[in-house]
Amino acid sequence: MTHVLVFDFDGVLFNQTKQLYPGVVELLQKYQHWPCAIATRRSGEGEVAEMTNVLREAGVLSVFACIIADSRPKTYHLEQIKLRMGSSAVCCLIDDWHQNIRDVQCCGYLAVECQGLSERHIEDAIRLMRGSRQATP
Q: What is the pTM of this model?
A: 0.94
C-alpha 82/C-alpha 4 separation (Å) is 9
The whole-number pLDDT of residue 1 equals 84
Q: For residue 8, is it left (φ>0), alpha (ψ between -120 and 50) or beta?
A: beta
Largest CA distance in the chain: 39
Q: State residue 135's pLDDT score.
A: 46
Look at residue 132 in the predicted model and tell me its pLDDT.
87
CA distance 75 to 105: 9
Q: Which residue ranges in the chain fall short of pLDDT 50?
A: 134-137
Q: Residue 133 has what pLDDT?
A: 64
Q: Is residue 3 within 8 Å of residue 120, measured between CB atoms?
A: no
